[in-house]
Amino acid sequence: MAMSRPRVIAGLGAGVVVLSFASVIIRVTPAPSIVIAAGRMAVATLILTPFFWARFPARRAELRGIAVWPLLLSGVLLAAHFALWIESLNRTSVASSVVLVAMNPIFAAALSPLVLRERISWRIGLAVVLGIIGAAVIAGPQLGSSAVTAGNLLALGGAACAAGYLMAGRRVRPRLSLLSYIYVIYGIAAVLLLAVMLLTGQSFTGYKWQAYLFIGLLGLGPQLIGHTSFNWALRYVPAPTVAMAVLGEPVGTTILAWLILRQAPTLFEAIGGAVICAGIYLAAADVMRLPEPSS
């Protein structure tokens, strides 16, 4: 079935909107970061389980012949992304964390020609530059503090892992249905994060009911809708284009933090957000110039 280019853009846009709630929800969740990360992925995997196993013979036939290492690598990098980024929210500001973790397009753009043999258009190149400038403007005033250096580095590590996750996924996503792909990698990430949680002495019990409510919302919304929209788009557009769409998250998160957490955006955040929006527009324009994709 043919997939229209406006539909690809709309899907990515919807994913960015839902994903923008993640940082705010995580910030108010009364639980350790590794518990939040593991719970988020476990909830998403559990919701997908009956849908995957309902047609297991078809899923098994689909997975037969698919290389294991890209799926495993994608799941490992996804787990690392969440472990690093969610912990960064405990050590630095929401604004710094979300803009730094959104730096993954620069990693994706650098790796894509080498790993995936995908050409980078001038629009994507300029969009990445604008995105990086905008992110730097937003986070710049806070990056000079040594107290938040560790959190900033964790966010950057999360960005690098997110880029690798997209790179690995791009190798196998076109040959797998969306459900088969996300069930496998979300499951791998959930198992790894749960193992880390247990190895570090954390428990999934004993928290306030709000913690379980927020973790459930993270798994259902930002994970199943937000991240899944990016995995869906990987079948139709280059990985750097998908990664670039994630730069919309800092803008959405800043607005939500203002409305929900009463953290009004600074002048730097407003200017940086405008620059990022310009980059997102260029990335969307690049998608519109791609040949009409098919499933």
Q: How far apart are CA 159 and CA 286, in angstroms?
A: 22
Picking from 225, 208, 191, the residue whose alpha carbon sits closest to that of residue 42 is: 191
∠ CA 239-82-190, rounded to 5°: 100
| pLDDT surpassing 90 at residue 7 | no
- pLDDT band (50, 70, 90) for residue 288: low
The pLDDT, as a whole number, for residue 292 is: 44
- What number of other Cβ atoms are within 10 A of residue 11's Cβ? 18
Question: Percentage of the chain with pLDDT > 70?
Answer: 82
| pLDDT surpassing 70 at residue 258 | yes
- pLDDT band (50, 70, 90) for residue 156: confident
The pLDDT, as a whole number, for residue 209 is: 93
The pLDDT, as a whole number, for residue 295 is: 40
The pLDDT, as a whole number, for residue 294 is: 43
Q: How far apart are CA 49 and CA 159, in angstroms?
A: 28
In terms of average pLDDT, the best of 88-97, 105-114, 167-176 is 88-97
The string of DSSP codes covering 74-141 is: HHHHHHHHHHHHHHHTTTS-HHHHHHHHTTHHHHHHHHHHHHT-----HHHHHHHHHHHHHHHHHHHH
pLDDT digits (tens, 9 = 90+) for 19-32: 889 989 998 999 99
Selected residue with higher pLDDT from 44 and 233: 44
The pLDDT, as a whole number, for residue 293 is: 41
Summarize the confidence of residues 236-246 as an average pLDDT: 69
The pLDDT, as a whole number, for residue 31 is: 94
Q: How far apart are CA 253 and CA 197, in angstroms?
A: 27
Selected residue with higher pLDDT from 43 and 12: 43
Selected residue with higher pLDDT from 258 and 265: 258
The pLDDT, as a whole number, for residue 3 is: 61
Residue ranges of domains in the chain: 5-288
pLDDT digits (tens, 9 = 90+) for 54-82: 988 888 888 887 888 888 999 999 999 99
Question: Percentage of the chain with pLDDT > 90?
Answer: 30
- Name the average pLDDT for the chain: 81
The pLDDT, as a whole number, for residue 118 is: 65
| pLDDT surpassing 60 at residue 287 | no
12 neighbors 230 (Cβ within 8 angstroms): yes
Selected residue with higher pLDDT from 287 and 189: 189
The pLDDT, as a whole number, for residue 249 is: 78
Tokens for 5? 């280019």
| pLDDT surpassing 70 at residue 290 | no
